[in-house]
A and B are shown apart, each in its own frame.
With several copies, the nearest count.
Chain A
Amino acid sequence: MRVLSFADAINEAIQLEMARDPRVLVTGEDVAGGATIPGFDRADAWGGVFGVTRGLVTEFGRDRVIDTPISESAFIGAAIGAATSGYRTVTELQFLDFMGVCLDQIINQAAKLHYARGSDSAGIPIVIRSMIGAGSRAGSTQSQSHYSTVAHFPGLKVVAPATPADAKGLMISAIRDQDPVFFLENKALYETRGPVPEGDYTVPIGRANVVREGRDVTVVTIARMLSVAEKAVAELAGRGIEAELIDLRTIAPLDLPTILESVGRTGRLVVVDEDTPRCSVASDIVGLVSSRAFDKLKAAPRMVTSPHTPVPFAPVLEDAFIPAANDVVQAVLATVGQEVAV
């Protein structure tokens, strides 16, 4: 199959939906680039900091691919308002770290309007693209992955693809969804490449993906942590430990059944999450599995997360901050070891 980068897969998904549905818009800081500069309606435009929306303004024009001032509350709120008029805006909150300047529009307007208006509306179909992930030496305010804070709010959907194929399929689903969808893109994945089907297909929101089957332990990962866990799983296989690997893909609504089904067979759980630990998706999943499948668990479920600190800048510190394959290996060995010890 044809191979694309994660960034190009997202670009293709948006391009296809914009071509299919004239009510799909793209807004955000520099999503086109160079607005009002003579000649920059065209291919020279930026297409976002990492070029994910490059070329869209060329094909669809400035009316549908709209640069904005640095006013996230205003333009994300505008996307919500336009949604009540039937438009579907793919808007960009450049980094999830910036949510604090506009979160009200997301958690109190987008998330609640449908319910608080009596649940008889067509919903709030918007997609909020946002970058997550440490490792780019950007420091404490441009490296975070605090998606548990948005996953907390009823009314929002939150997806975090790990592969180019899922990125495309989830983006198409997100754009067609009737509800607000937070679409998280780990910076470190943009250049990763993988097979991506041509044309129009969807990956369902609310479904985790069993990437690898295994009998000994269930390892659940989010976004970039899939690749970290894959290294660990390969090493563990060498030691005769067969891990079942589940890429969560959707953070909210959570596909607990798929996790429970797996834990029902393996009896062991390790959740790998790049976020910090308190009130995280990792502790959420461990808590939910423990309360709903306690009798299935053969050993203490474990979480592998970043430490409870801001993201540090210095490479040696940041590398120590991000969960590594060896952390996953150790966690799995501990869950298995516990039983051996019993």
Chain B
Amino acid sequence: MNQTKVSEVSELPAGVPEATLVDLYRTMSLIRTFEERVHELFVEGELPGFLHLCSGQEATAAGVIAHLRTEDGITSTHRNHGHALAKGVSPAAMMIELYGRAGGTNAGKGGSMHLADQRVGHVASGGIVGAGAPLALGLAQAAKLAGTDGVAAVFFGDGAAQQGTVLESMNLAAVWKLPILFVCENNLFGQATTIGYSSAVAPAARAEGFGMASEEVDGQDVIAVYQAAGRAVERARAGEGPTYLELTTYSYHGAWEGEPKRAYRLPEVESDFRGRDPLRLLAAALAAVKQDWIDVKDEIEEEIEEQVESAIEAGRAAPYPDPATVTEGVYADPTVTIDRDGLTVH
């Protein structure tokens, strides 16, 4: 299997247009700004919820999803904000949801761990580790049956990589030769358990044993991620089946917001990764080749700052959902009339 080596700094590779790099930066910057503000708002007690932020992991969402079309579906995890933003979910709609108000992505019924927006292909995320893999198989199967060259992607962590649900989904993807990417975001930990303890080998090593292509990629280097994902998506669209991408990265905010103690996260490891911050790496690469980068960067960051602040305003301004709606929408079938106890009403 093709193994991309970890590159210490990513010089601009041929074949990646500068405009694409700028877009990647914009996406990562949006994710970083969104997550950092969510972090502050949570710390200040303004945002409720059980939050798993992805600051530090921006390159995985940005680099992979840059290759996907709106109709290419993804499934994600409890740590899904980055995937949602990269896939094009409205930051305001997300923020309204995080505020627990009406009119957001999930009508207040999902929250951070369950963000979804079918219209832009962010099909599902959720609190069950590994559960997105089978769902993504169905997205890929649907694309294949429809005869389009659509693809699907499932994002999951290094911890989820040990879950039987994910493993048997890898097998089915290979057997059905589905157009799907298994994107393992290896941020070194599942909660406080190190990848070195939850798996005797690199998760990507498993792919071959199921007859699946794989690449291990530096998840801090968005260009490397973008290129590897490009190869995988091309393979999928060409009907050559699934690919497993293992992207090594790091979560600046640990396992979840409010996590009691992070002592298990060794400072030297963290500073290594912060030293190779995905935004800084890409900015450096762009500065080296793009005259007006400083101005463009400032512009982008200003825009995004506004975008996120107005999303927060939208969250603060949105009305609370009507408590009566708690019992609405359990079933999609419009003919179902049930009472509070789930009993048919004639």
Contacts and interface: CB of A to CB of B under 8 A. Distances in A.
Touch between chains A and B, by CB atoms below 8 Å: yes
Interface of A: 25, 29-30, 33-37, 40, 44-46, 49-51, 63, 67-71, 73-87, 89, 95, 97-98, 100-101, 104-105, 108-109, 113-125, 136-142, 154-155, 157, 177-179, 206-207, 252-258, 276-278, 288, 305, 307-310, 312-317, 319-321
User: Which of B168, B193, B340: most chain A Cβ within 10 A?
Assistant: B193
15 contacts: A30-B192, A34-B192, A74-B134, A75-B134, A77-B169, A81-B138, A82-B141, A101-B128, A109-B126, A109-B134, A154-B330, A178-B332, A257-B344, A277-B340, A313-B112
Report the 6 A-B pairs with minimum CB-CB distance, sorted nearest first. Answer: A77-B134, A81-B138, A119-B329, A123-B332, A313-B111, A308-B342
A73 B118 contact: no
Contacts of A122: 332
Contact of B326 (A36, A86, A309): A309
Given A69-B199, A253-B343, A100 B164 contact: no
B134 A35 contact: no
Interface in B83-137: 97, 100-101, 104-114, 116, 118, 123-124, 126-131, 133-137
A104 B110 contact: no
Interface stretch (B15-23, B237-245, B260-268): B260-268
Contact of A33 (B107, B164, B192, B198): B192
Given A33-B192, A85-B143, A312 B342 contact: no
User: Which of A73, A76, A256, A276: most chain B Cβ within 10 A?
Assistant: A73
Contacts of B336: 179, 206, 253
Interface of A is mostly: loop
Contacts, number: 354
B4 interface: no
Given A45-B264, A314-B101, A115 B343 contact: no
A177 B336 CA distance: 10
Interface stretch (B54-62, B223-231, B302-310, B317-325): B317-325
A40 B126 CA distance: 30
Contacts of B50: 136-139, 142
A63 B145 contact: yes
B43 interface: no
A222 to B, nearest CB: 16
Given A36-B194, A316-B100, A114 B114 contact: no
A98 B330 CA distance: 21
B298 interface: no
Nearest to B170: A74
B138 to A, nearest CB: 2
A141 B126 contact: yes
A33 B192 CA distance: 5
Interface residues of B, number: 91
Nearest to B142: A85
B109 A119 contact: yes
Contacts of B172: 68-69, 71, 74-75, 78
Contact of A46 (B110, B139, B264): B264
Nearest to A138: B50
B109 A87 contact: no
A69 B330 contact: no
B294 interface: no
Given A84-B123, A141-B126, A320 B326 contact: yes
A84 to B, nearest CB: 5
Given A37-B264, A74-B133, A122-B332, A139 B127 contact: yes
Given A138-B127, A313-B108, A85 B329 contact: no
Interface stretch (B26-34, B155-163, B270-278): B155-163
B135 A81 contact: yes
Contact of A73 (B75, B114, B165): B165
Contacts of A85: 73, 138-139, 142-143, 146
A185 B190 CA distance: 22
B196 interface: yes
A139 B114 CA distance: 7
A44 B264 contact: yes
User: Which of B133, B138, B324, B344: most chain A Cβ within 10 A?
Assistant: B138
B171 interface: yes
Contacts of A101: 128, 130-131, 163-165
Given A73-B165, A73-B168, A257-B346, A308 B341 contact: yes
A179 B138 contact: no
B261 A46 contact: yes
A89 B126 CA distance: 22
A115 B171 contact: no
Nearest to B266: A37
Interface in B166-212: 168-169, 171-172, 175, 190-194, 196-199
Given A67-B193, A115-B329, A123-B331, A320 B323 contact: yes
B134 A76 contact: yes
Contacts of A36: 194, 196-197
B11 interface: no
Contacts of B130: 70, 101
User: Which of A70, A305, A314: most chain B Cβ within 10 A?
Assistant: A314
A289 B72 CA distance: 49
B142 A87 contact: yes
Contact of A140 (B75, B109, B340): B109
B321 A314 contact: yes
Given A81-B139, A121-B332, A115 B344 contact: no
Nearest to B173: A74
Contacts of B110: 116-118, 139-140, 313
Contacts of A206: 336, 344
Contacts of B345: 257
